[in-house]
Amino acid sequence: MSPSEQSPSEQSPSQSSPFQSSPSGAPGLLDRVPVVPVVVVDDLAQAVPVARALVAGGLPVIELTLRTPVALDAIRAIADEVPEILVGAGTILTPGQAKEARDAGAQFLVSPGATPALLAGMAETGLPFLPGTATVSEVLAVLEAGWTEMKFFPAEASGGAAYLSSIASPVPAARFCPTGGITPASAASYLSLPNVGCVGGSWLTPKDALAAGDWARVERLASEAAALG
């Protein structure tokens, strides 16, 4: 039974996250792309074109946040029409949302924080997930539940790259996808850290670009971000 199929109480701290490389050598999420696009879709018509633009730019991963009424339908559309992208659901706040995202076609989950109930609910979906952390105590709680890879959020407001650098030695088992306030200029400082696999970035899909249908701009930003790896 994999960690994603067990409840947190059944997992041991030595178990690895399902985002880590598999025995076959296939990369986990933290090792797929240097920047995971964190996307807010206000109009369902934007979903498929933005996913295709990201793929064209060299970033075949998308975290679609559950912040708008069309988010679940957007995940469903991307999963159906853009199979070459790994589509995930972000801003998972409840076990119910985790199940809804899975049923819509999400292939991974991301939460801004992690409570025992939320960890259990995400694990019960059978999907890989990144639980959110912001303090050493939260990181240790997630490690105790059996997960070694997690989101660090909100990254800049919580101490940024300097904070993650300071905990790399005392908490070497934890690896992160920092998200929140990261820019093209600051991304490299995170990616150079030994405990960071990738960063989450919302700058790749500016609200005005999506509203205007400027998919060439999204593709260019994705290409620039892909080059950070």
Assigned domain for 11 exists: no
How do residues 80-126 score in pLDDT, each as one tens digit?
999 999 999 999 999 999 999 999 999 999 999 999 999 999 999 99
Coil/strand/helix, residue 193? coil
Within-domain flag for 69: yes
pLDDT digits (tens, 9 = 90+) for 20-51: 333 334 578 899 999 999 999 999 999 999 99
Burial class (CB in 10 A: 0-12, 13-18, 19+), 24: exposed
| 152/131 Cα distance (integer angstroms) | 9
Would residue 173 count as lying in a domain? yes
Could you tell me if residue 18 is inside a domain?
no
User: What's the total number of domains in the chain?
Assistant: 1
Angle made by CA atoms 157, 188, 222, in degrees to the nearest 5: 100
Flag whether 22 is in a domain: no
- State which residues form the domain around 94: 28-226
The CATH number of the domain holding residue 140 is 3.20.20.70
- Active centre residues (catalytic): 63, 151
**DSSP H or E run through 210:** helix 207-212
Whether 203 is in a domain gets the answer yes
For the segment 152-163, the average pLDDT, to the nearest whole number, is 98
14 inside domain? no
Residue 171, pLDDT score: 98
Give a yes or no: residue 19 inside a domain. no
pLDDT tens sequence across 165-214: 999 999 999 999 999 999 999 999 999 999 999 999 999 999 999 999 99
- Cβ atoms within 10 Å, residue 134: 20
